[in-house]
A and B are shown apart, each in its own frame.
Chain A
């Protein structure tokens, strides 16, 4: 099994309910968001302010379509990669990849705060909490999932723009082999991020007032 977020940019409202639902559940400290709603085509797409260093594998290209300001979004958290860089680099085993679900978990009771994962993650998913001197990130609400619930973000999204899928399930075949499309984002990343995207598009007919 490889659990993955399926992010539907065609219906995402950019309302940030998912990001706040994550805070509501885990009470992340001020300035830290495990889930971030990123505007398609916006500048901050290219950098992650929460990272100590610019990511080593940068987002390669902004989306090709120029989208209007503050209207189209992808909600992103940890990509729960097939070959996670955080797991590889963590010297104490605080990052693990669950062999059953494929979820990349982070255990803060073990984390020594070396910051390796924060630098290694191509997507800025691991955040460094300076106050605690430790890393932290989305662990796909594995405790909630083990309890039979879905993740906080999926449950809270008012339009179902985030879903949990299993990339190994034939039902989701159409997504399984596709590179993470949509934002050309880290297409060649060796970590093989699991997040999949449905692309946004502009309304079929748009009429704007003529100039002057």
Chain B
């Protein structure tokens, strides 16, 4: 043996011998003799011993930027520049020291060997799989040239389109839209596949979407969780619901599915899908007939109660309500009366419920139920859906001026998305807005000018958008597709250029939630690994190359520091709302906004300034002033398919990680025992689920958690698995969404399928 393993091991692990060895190293002349390479001689030998003694970590403040109610405040533990583990921040009473199952997989995500590492160009064409590694400069030059070519050919930048959604809700990530603002008037895939119908509904009723603090639920006396499943998708809210339950509150779950939440409720009521609005209207009728409505509150704060009552009296028949919803009348009565008697009472409405062709009308009907009982504007009450009241940042990264002389779209203007709406004077031109929920169709049909370049960021359209076959055609006919992402997915497969993007641990940012009221700083905890860059750094580099090729063609700063970008987002309004003097205070932990009860002052931002049961705006936009019952989409195949969010993933994020595969390895389709029997399907059989859109093969699980006539599959993106539930979904719109988010939502849960054993 020319070496002794024991000796070297001792050298590596024993402080004293290691120190002595290093001293000798300097004396031996080694350091001046290395020929040099990627590794360099360490001229400044550190003879401290980092391998001994107790764990010592550097800690950083982070936040989970995913599209989630909970938006956890994170504390990250780093040793020797390597992220070791994370914890939830103890300072936040909401996160309370722990992230969820997904958050706890972040170390794995950051250091996954599957991450995109370098900018790459698909030299063999889209889908060819022939990739060439290119430098960031080369990548940006190619893109800049294409953009300038589009401008030269068309006279506008409208041929460049951006599709960006909820992959990262960090405030500086609006710099991606900023990047597109900074090159001229462009085309945007606008709207949201998530919650638009409900946003419109709440805005029509109350002039805003503004929910009470979820932490108040601990003091609610009656909670209806209506089509929402926090036991799976907002686990940090559960402690408040449990506390209320422990104190004697009734927790009722109304849902077509016996969900995780239902299993933890005091009462579960299974409803026929898409009839929730009618149930809410029936309950109101019962409450008003029993004179349990809050007349005093209604007189002072509402508009159109009389019209509502007339509608209920005339058009809502309780027997029909029972028949259509499938719920016994006695049960509805009991529910309505006990809800009306409990004060404060609250209803939390899920986003799944509005992903129907009548989704917005259902949210309006339930809002009305809360209002009729006088629970709007009350502590621990409220019609809860979401809020954006803590999102008043500067959007400095977003607000970029157009280059001088930019020419844009002159058609009708659309809105710009639910989170950050740019104010300012009306310009002669606007961007062009295409419906994000009909991406494939819109890209294929775009003309005057045609979309030629598509930039995809914070989004995985092939996993989340609809009509996959059309989407492939749409991508293929584009001159250039740029995909900025953290992992290689099917969208990247159809890209020309992929750009590796930083995780939140590799950049600075600031985060708030659309549900709770905490504000978290996100500090850079580790060096960006490989060649990854944050989205705003990518924008800056693009600007550098645009300006090099044509001075003044891009107004985005040519070099940015993510920390400076983050600091620029703060303003006095945020400081006042959160009771801090400087953003630096957030280094000590997250802070909570000062408590405000939404609408407690009786001020609504509706045209009348009151709660509007009767809304002229609704009449104008959607044809009905009152929250009237609207029948849901008719079946076009044998079974309804519902595709809720899984607790193992956030849309197409997390499920692809090996650690997640350890707790949840594969997709299943959940089938009611009656349906399974009829189709002769047994537990564990592989079945084909199919409709006019596509076909999926997966394992069956038999359970009466789903009602007869319905199959359930979770919406997820797996690694090494072609499963994608959205292949069965067409792009039929929900009723609302165009008012506040630029485009209607998608009636995801009005998908119908058939299945058979293979």
Please report A residues at the B interface, Cβ cutoff 8 Å.
11, 13-17, 19-21, 23-25, 27, 30-33, 37, 68-72, 143, 147, 152, 155-160, 202-212
Residues 133-165 (chain B) with a chain A CB within 8 angstroms: none
- Given known contacts A37-B663, A159-B242, A207-B270, A14 and B674 CB-to-CB distance under 8 angstroms: no
A209–B326 CB distance below 8 A: yes
- Given known contacts A37-B663, A202-B263, A207-B268, A27 and B647 CB-to-CB distance under 8 angstroms: no
B242's partner among A11, A19, A202, A203 (CB-CB below 8 A) is A11
Q: Is B488 an interface residue (CB 8 A)?
A: no
B662's partner among A31, A157, A202 (CB-CB below 8 A) is A31
A68–B704 CB distance below 8 A: yes
A207–B662 CB distance below 8 A: no
Interface string of B661-681 (1 = CB under 8 A from A): 111100000100010000000
Q: Is B269 an interface residue (CB 8 A)?
A: yes
B705–A70 CB distance below 8 A: yes
B98–A204 CB distance below 8 A: no
- Given known contacts A15-B232, A23-B659, A24-B107, A203 and B705 CB-to-CB distance under 8 angstroms: no
Q: Is B514 an interface residue (CB 8 A)?
A: no
A203's partner among B100, B266, B272, B704 (CB-CB below 8 A) is B266
Q: How far is the CA of A205 from the CA of B335 in the complex (A)?
A: 12
* B245–chain A nearest beta-carbon distance, Å: 9
Q: Is B685 an interface residue (CB 8 A)?
A: no
Please report B residues at the A interface, Cβ cutoff 8 Å.
54-55, 85-88, 96-102, 104-108, 231-232, 235-236, 238-239, 242, 258, 260, 262-272, 326-328, 331, 647-648, 658-664, 670, 674, 701-705, 707-708
- Given known contacts A15-B232, A15-B647, A159-B242, A21 and B704 CB-to-CB distance under 8 angstroms: no
A20–B704 CB distance below 8 A: no
* B754–chain A nearest beta-carbon distance, Å: 19
A residues within 8 A CB of B708? 209, 211-212
B104–A20 CB distance below 8 A: yes
Nearest 4 Cβ contacts at the A-B interface: A156-B98, A20-B104, A71-B263, A69-B703
Tell which of B102, B104, B235 has the most Cβ of chain A within 10 Å: B104
A208–B258 CB distance below 8 A: yes
A residues within 8 A CB of B242? 11, 159
Q: How far is the CA of A124 from the CA of B270 in the complex (A)?
A: 39
- Given known contacts A21-B104, A209-B270, A211-B708, A156 and B662 CB-to-CB distance under 8 angstroms: no
Q: List, sorted by A's number, 25 A–B pairs whose CB atoms are closer than 8 Å.
A: A11-B264, A13-B232, A15-B101, A15-B231, A15-B232, A15-B647, A16-B101, A16-B663, A17-B235, A23-B105, A24-B86, A68-B258, A69-B703, A71-B258, A147-B54, A155-B88, A156-B104, A205-B266, A206-B268, A207-B267, A207-B331, A208-B270, A209-B271, A209-B272, A210-B326
B residues within 8 A CB of A158? 96, 98, 100, 235-236, 238-239
B residues within 8 A CB of A155? 87-88, 97-98
B704–A204 CB distance below 8 A: no
Q: How far is the CA of A206 from the CA of B263 in the complex (A)?
A: 9
A205–B263 CB distance below 8 A: no
* B55–chain A nearest beta-carbon distance, Å: 8
- Given known contacts A13-B231, A156-B97, A158-B100, A24 and B662 CB-to-CB distance under 8 angstroms: no
Q: How far is the CA of A31 from the CA of B661 in the complex (A)?
A: 8
A residues within 8 A CB of B674? 211
A residues within 8 A CB of B331? 207
A70's partner among B97, B106, B660, B703 (CB-CB below 8 A) is B703
A residues within 8 A CB of B104? 17, 20-21, 23-24, 156
* A8–chain B nearest beta-carbon distance, Å: 10
Q: How far is the CA of A208 from the CA of B272 in the complex (A)?
A: 10
A20's partner among B101, B236, B270, B702 (CB-CB below 8 A) is B101
Q: How far is the CA of A152 from the CA of B104 in the complex (A)?
A: 10
B703–A203 CB distance below 8 A: no
B residues within 8 A CB of A204? 266-267
B residues within 8 A CB of A31? 662
B239–A159 CB distance below 8 A: yes
Known: A15-B100, A20-B660, A68-B258. 6 other contacts (CB 8 A): A23-B662, A156-B87, A203-B264, A204-B267, A205-B266, A206-B268
A24–B264 CB distance below 8 A: no
* B75–chain A nearest beta-carbon distance, Å: 11
Q: How far is the CA of A51 from the CA of B582 in the complex (A)?
A: 54
A30's partner among B85, B236, B264, B662 (CB-CB below 8 A) is B662
B658's partner among A21, A30, A33 (CB-CB below 8 A) is A30
CB-nearest residue of chain B relative to A146? B54
B703–A17 CB distance below 8 A: no
B659's partner among A20, A147, A207 (CB-CB below 8 A) is A20
Q: How far is the CA of A23 from the CA of B100 in the complex (A)?
A: 13
* A34–chain B nearest beta-carbon distance, Å: 11
Q: How far is the CA of A71 from the CA of B231 in the complex (A)?
A: 10
- Given known contacts A16-B663, A71-B260, A207-B327, A159 and B270 CB-to-CB distance under 8 angstroms: no
B268–A17 CB distance below 8 A: no
A157–B263 CB distance below 8 A: no
Q: How far is the CA of A208 from the CA of B253 in the complex (A)?
A: 12
B residues within 8 A CB of A13? 231-232, 235, 238, 260, 264
A residues within 8 A CB of B260? 13-14, 70-71
